[in-house]
Chain A
Amino acid sequence: MTTPDPRAVPPDAILVSAIASGDESAMGQLYDRYSPIVYSIALRVLGDAGMAEDLLQEIFMQLWRNPAAFDSNRGAMAPWLAAITRNRAIDWLRKRRPETPVADVALSIEPDLAYKAEIAQSVGKIRSMLDNMPVTQRSVLEMAYFEGLTHSEIAAKTGQPLGTIKTRIRSGLLALRTALTQ
């Protein structure tokens, strides 16, 4: 007798395909899997629970109306949703028109965060890397990513030279790159 695979849940691509044929329950499953990621990012950027709920609704309605925008060959669902949520949240924050078409977001295929255990493990590694990063470096990264500030705005806000901001942002991203491989 074989033990059932605990990860025997429908892969994202299958759910997206079911959504394309109008399957509402598939949409519910995808929502259950990824709504915490979308909501967490929206809340972090917008700082308002009501706006975060509205953005959560918008992101999943877009997926319902245009499931083909997600291409599993160009990356996994979690980072793709994370990227479009962050971009749209910054657009809302700065009250500007959407700059990046949803279908244009291409990422490397890691990490595949379809499963809760993998999410918890990956998030733990990323947070550990950020906790060990110098505060000055982490803060410029967060100002650029979560507040949508330009390098000149960060330099004006922190009083640091432009060159220093650039160097800190690049080395911070490169450090994050190693987070999941450690």
Chain B
Amino acid sequence: MSVHEQFAEDLALYALGALVGPEKDALEQHLEVCLPCQSELQQLQSDATLLALSTFGPVPPPRSRKRLLQAIARERRARVAAPKRSAWWVLVPYAVSTALIVVAAFLWNESRSLNRTLANLEQRHAEMEKQLRVAQDLVNTLTSPESKQITLAPAKALPQPQGKAYYLSSSGHLIFLANNLAPLPPNKVYELWLIPSTGSPIPAGLFQPDSHGTATVVNPPLPMGIEAKAFAITIEPAGGSPAPTSQPIMLGAA
């Protein structure tokens, strides 16, 4: 299993805690349902830890060790402080106090347990709502009357490859399906571009076709409210490019 190329770079940023905003939200939404990307994230976090280890060298002063062991010993003494022996009647107020503390602790514990259960239920509810929203977004992008359906054909009119983009500008959602794509060498990748009415092309995801030549891009991180003039595909170096570096091999006007 491999990671989804359109999230590959965001995963690296996320592993360092450097991804923010809508891109972070979109990635977290994707991570909830994608095991390969979860696994790659864990690997990237390990890679990042090697940076931390590169700092190895300075040693703490000896007083730090003494300070730590003294703090630990203080905590131990506080835990094992023993009560003094006294006549039984002297203990009555303590017994009553202890009983009250036990009752209070029991009630507090019950309350915590109920709170935990409630928090778990709320979390499950929130997760289900999130999954439902994702499904609704997908259906809406495919069926909304406002959704534009664009068919992309090869720029040089080659008959076989075909791509379809379903794009909802108001929400920034995009689904792209392609088939009959030629395989690429390992150092190249297909890159989808949203060409806005004004301004430069916006990267809309990287992809590699599978062995049957089909590929999909679902909800790449895109800003909302961008009117698309067209969609295009170029072949870029592995890892993608911030701006097209070659002529489009497929193009479709919106």
- Name A residues whose Cβ lies closer than 8 Å to a Cβ of B: 22, 24, 27-28, 31-32, 35-37, 39-41, 43-44, 52-53, 56-57, 60-61, 64-65, 75, 78-79, 82-83, 85-87, 90, 99, 105-108, 110-111, 113, 119, 122-123, 126-127, 130, 141-142, 144-146, 148-152, 154, 161-164, 166-167, 169-171, 173-174, 176-177, 179-180
Contact = CB atoms under 8 A, between A and B. Distances in A.
B49 A79 contact: yes
Contacts of A167: 9, 239-240, 242
A53 B18 contact: no
A107 B50 CA distance: 11
Given A99-B17, A162-B242, A180-B50, 18 more contacts: A39-B59, A40-B55, A53-B67, A79-B49, A79-B52, A79-B53, A107-B45, A108-B43, A122-B53, A145-B51, A145-B52, A154-B18, A163-B241, A163-B242, A166-B9, A169-B9, A173-B15, A179-B50
A150 B19 contact: yes
Contact of B48 (A40, A145, A154): A145
A35 B59 contact: yes
A146 to B, nearest CB: 8
A162 B21 CA distance: 13
B interface bracket (residues with beta carbon within 8 Å of A): 35 or more
A53 B60 contact: yes
Given A22-B76, A166-B12, A169-B12, A142 B67 contact: no
Contacts of A106: 42, 45
A46 to B, nearest CB: 11
B42 A170 contact: no
B18 A149 contact: yes
B54 A83 contact: no
A144 B44 CA distance: 14
Complex A-B, nearest 10 residue pairs according to Cβ-Cβ distance, in ascending order: A163-B242, A170-B12, A166-B9, A82-B52, A44-B55, A39-B60, A144-B18, A144-B16, A108-B46, A173-B47
B44 A113 contact: no
| Residue from B55, B68, B75 whose CB has the most chain A CB atoms within 10 Å | B55
15 contacts: A22-B76, A24-B69, A39-B59, A61-B72, A99-B17, A106-B42, A108-B43, A123-B54, A141-B51, A145-B48, A150-B20, A151-B20, A154-B18, A167-B242, A180-B50
Given A79-B49, A170-B9, A173-B12, A150 B18 contact: yes
B54 A161 contact: no
A17 B12 CA distance: 34
